[in-house]
Structure 1
Amino acid sequence: MSIPITPTSGSAPRDVQHYMRAGLLQLTSLPPLSLYVHLPWCLRKCPYCDFNSHESRGELPEARYLDALVADLEAALPLIWGRTVQTIFIGGGTPSLFSPESIDRLLGDIRARLRLEAGCEVTLEANPGTFEKERFRAYRGAGVTRLSVGVQSFNDRHLKALGRVHDRAQALAAVEEAAQAFETFNLDIMYALPGQTPAEQEEDMRQALAFAPPHLSIYHLTIEPNTYFAKHPPALPEDDQAWAMLDRITEMTGAAGMARYEVSAYARGGHQCQHNRNYWQFGDYLGIGAGAHSKLSFAHRVVRQVRLRDPQLYMTGALAGRAIAQDEDVRRADLPFEFMLNALRLREGFALQDFTERTGLAVTAIAKGLQEAEAKGLVTRDMGRVRPTERGFDFLSDLQALFLSD
Structure 2
Amino acid sequence: MLVSPPLSLYIHIPWCVQKCPYCDFNSHALKADIDEQAYIRHLLADLDNDIARFNIDRPLYSIFIGGGTPSLFSSEAIEQLLIEVFKRFKPDTDPNFKVEVTLEANPGTVEADKFKGFYQAGVNRISIGVQSFASDKLIKLGRIHDSEQAIRAAEIAQDCGISSFNLDLMHGLEQQSVAGALDDLKQAIALKPKHLSWYQLTIEPNTSFYSKPPTLPEDDVLWDIQEQGFKLLEQAGYKQYEISAYSKGDEFQCRHNLNYWQNGDYLGIGCGAHGKITVPSENNIYRTVKVKHPKGYMDDTRVHLDHIHSVPESERPFEYMMNRLRLFKPFSMSDYEAATGLPGDTVIEALQTAKNKKLVDQNNGYWQVTQHGHRYLNDLLSLFI
TM-score (norm 2): 0.95
State the 1:343 CA deviation: 0.4
Candidates 318, 331, 336, aligned match of 1:350: 331
Partner of 2:72: 97
Partner of 1:202: 182
Candidates 61, 65, 71, aligned match of 2:35: 61
Candidates 295, 304, 311, aligned match of 2:287: 304
Name the amino acid aligned to 1:163.
Answer: G
Q: Note closer, same or farther for the CA distance 1:224–1:116 as it changes in structure 2 (3 Å cut).
A: farther
CA RMSD, aligned part only? 1.2
Matches within 5 A, 1:312-323: 312-316=295-299, 319-320=300-301, 322-323=303-304
State the 1:239 CA deviation: 1.3
Candidates 352, 361, 371, aligned match of 1:380: 361
State the 1:183 CA deviation: 2.9
Q: What is the CA–CA distance in structure 2 between the aligned matches of 1:251 and 1:174, rounded to whole Å?
A: 26
Partner of 1:43: 17
Q: Note closer, same or farther for the CA distance 1:130–1:290 as it changes in structure 2 (3 Å cut).
A: farther
Farther-moved stretch of structure 1 (226-235 vs 180-189): 180-189
Partner of 1:162: 141
Aligned residue for 2:229, secondary structure, equals helix
Partner of 2:236: 256
Alignment deviations for residues 133-183 of structure 1 (CA, whole Å, 9 cap, x no partner): 641010000000100000000000000010001111111111110111223
Q: What is the CA–CA distance in structure 2 between the aligned matches of 1:162 and 1:363, rounded to whole Å?
A: 44
Alignment deviations for residues 207-256 of structure 1 (CA, whole Å, 9 cap, x no partner): 10001110000121000001000000010001111111111111111000
Name the amino acid aligned to 1:81.
Answer: I
Partner of 2:60: 85
Q: What is the CA–CA distance in structure 1 between the aligned matches of 2:55 and 2:13, rounded to whole Å?
A: 22
Partner of 2:350: 369
Q: How many residues align?
A: 376
The yes-or-no answer on 1:123 pairing with 2:102 is yes
The yes-or-no answer on 1:218 pairing with 2:198 is yes
Is contact 1:339-1:355 (8 Å) kept? yes
Candidates 4, 7, 26, aligned match of 1:52: 26
The yes-or-no answer on 1:244 pairing with 2:224 is yes
Is contact 1:71-1:321 (8 Å) kept? no
Name the amino acid aligned to 1:374.
Answer: K
Q: Note closer, same or farther for the CA distance 1:80–1:116 as it changes in structure 2 (3 Å cut).
A: farther
Q: What is the CA–CA distance in structure 2 between the aligned matches of 1:102 and 1:369, rounded to whole Å?
A: 49
Q: Note closer, same or farther for the CA distance 1:132–1:166 as it changes in structure 2 (3 Å cut).
A: same
Q: What is the CA–CA distance in structure 1 between the aligned matches of 2:112 and 2:36, rounded to whole Å?
A: 21
Aligned residue for 1:119, secondary structure, equals coil
Aligned residue for 1:322, secondary structure, equals coil
Q: What is the CA–CA distance in structure 2 between the aligned matches of 1:230 and 1:130, rounded to whole Å?
A: 30
Q: Note closer, same or farther for the CA distance 1:262–1:116 as it changes in structure 2 (3 Å cut).
A: farther
Partner of 1:33: 7
Q: Structure 1: where are the runs of 5+ without partners?
A: 1-25
Aligned residue for 2:174, secondary structure, equals coil
Identity %: 45
Q: What is the CA–CA distance in structure 2 between the aligned matches of 1:205 and 1:103, rounded to whole Å?
A: 31
Q: What is the CA–CA distance in structure 2 between the aligned matches of 1:401 and 1:383, rounded to whole Å?
A: 25
State the 1:37 CA deviation: 0.3
Q: Note closer, same or farther for the CA distance 1:235–1:84 as it changes in structure 2 (3 Å cut).
A: same
Q: What is the CA–CA distance in structure 1 between the aligned matches of 2:36 and 2:166, rounded to whole Å?
A: 25
Name the amino acid aligned to 1:306.
Answer: V
Name the amino acid aligned to 1:183.
Answer: S
Q: What is the CA–CA distance in structure 1 between the aligned matches of 2:210 and 2:204, rounded to whole Å?
A: 6
Q: Note closer, same or farther for the CA distance 1:131–1:399 as it changes in structure 2 (3 Å cut).
A: farther
Is contact 2:240-2:247 (8 Å) kept? yes
Matches within 5 A, 1:125-144: 125-129=104-108, 131-132=110-111, 134-144=113-123
Q: Note closer, same or farther for the CA distance 1:390–1:132 as it changes in structure 2 (3 Å cut).
A: closer
Name the amino acid aligned to 1:264.
Answer: S
Partner of 1:399: 380
Aligned residue for 2:176, secondary structure, equals coil
Farther-moved stretch of structure 1 (300-309 vs 343-352): 343-352
Is contact 1:291-1:306 (8 Å) kept? yes
Q: Note closer, same or farther for the CA distance 1:266–1:68 as it changes in structure 2 (3 Å cut).
A: same
The yes-or-no answer on 1:112 pairing with 2:91 is no
Matches within 5 A, 1:257-336: 257-269=237-249, 270-299=251-280, 300-316=283-299, 319-320=300-301, 322-336=303-317
Farther-moved stretch of structure 1 (344-353 vs 373-382): 344-353
State the 1:80 CA deviation: 4.5
Aligned residue for 1:295, secondary structure, equals strand
Q: Note closer, same or farther for the CA distance 1:133–1:47 as it changes in structure 2 (3 Å cut).
A: closer
- Higher relative contact order, structure no. (Cα contacts within 8 Å, ≥ 6 residues apart): 1
Q: What is the CA–CA distance in structure 2 between the aligned matches of 1:120 and 1:133, rounded to whole Å?
A: 23
Partner of 1:175: 154
Candidates 169, 176, 191, aligned match of 2:171: 191
State the 1:195 CA deviation: 1.3
Partner of 1:360: 341
Is contact 1:39-1:93 (8 Å) kept? yes
Is contact 1:353-1:384 (8 Å) kept? no
